[in-house]
Amino acid sequence: MSLRLLVSLLLALALGWYAPARADSIEIHHISLEGNDEGYALDADFQIDLNPRLEDAVNKGVPMYFEVDFELTRKRWYWFDARPVSKQLMLRLSYHALTRQYRVASGALYQSFSSLPEALRVLSRVRSWQVLERAELDAGTEYQAGLRMRLDVTQLPKPFQLNALTSRDWNLESEWRHWPFRVKAPVTEKTPQ
């Protein structure tokens, strides 16, 4: 074996050893905050990639709880930023072996699916989530809105919680996505005199 071939093999092994694994994460693809009669509703699209360990756990009947966090902050020059609004939405992904159905639930409402990709597609779409009430906001004020989604490992069964402490396979979350948000002043009609 030539020295050049040996160096190439050692280099390939070294690079293979340190090569990063497939990124299993949650990414935010789209966010929309639209005004309605009560305040503002949020629509968001996520891309959820489960690693093989998480897929295996779901297929064995372990429920996965995903938390969507929304926050609204206001800058203050004299103290920490004010956080007038902080909301959470809990979504549960589970598999029922008896019916061979995947289920996505939010509170008491749920939908059943025959495959995991179908369930993940619905789980990754948040629609018409009422996050802001008009009374909570000051018109004309500049706010910073933020959104993220994460797997809530504190909701897992206890043996899996211990496993989540020691394994990065259970850390599944998106980065916070922040954007500026300004509440428009209400339009008042003038009555003729």
What residue segments make up the domains of the chain, in order of their start? 22-181
The residue type at 108: A
The angle at the Cα of 32, spanning 82 to 111, to the nearest 5 degrees, equals 110
Q: Which of 73-82, 86-95, 96-105 has the lowest mean pLDDT?
A: 73-82
Distance CA 129, CA 44 (A): 9
pLDDT digit string (tens) for 108-161? 999 999 999 999 999 999 999 999 988 888 777 888 999 999 999 988 888 777
What pTM value is reported for the model?
0.78
Name the strands in the sheet holding 142-151, side by side, starting at the edge strand that comes first in the sequence: 109-113, 101-106, 82-96, 64-74, 142-151, 177-182
- What is the sign of the dihedral through the CA atoms of 65, 70, 75 and 81? negative
Where is pLDDT greater, at 34 or 161? Answer: 34
Other beta carbons within 10 Å of 71:
20
Whole-number CA gyration radius for the chain: 23
H or E element that contains 82: strand 82-96
- 10 pLDDT tier (thresholds 50, 70, 90): very low
Task: Count the helices and strands in the chain (H runs, E runs).
Answer: 4, 9
- Mean pLDDT across 58-85: 88
pLDDT digit string (tens) for 35-58? 888 889 999 999 999 999 999 999
Tokens 């429920």 belong to residue? 63
H or E element that contains 122: helix 116-123
Longest dimension (CA), the chain: 100
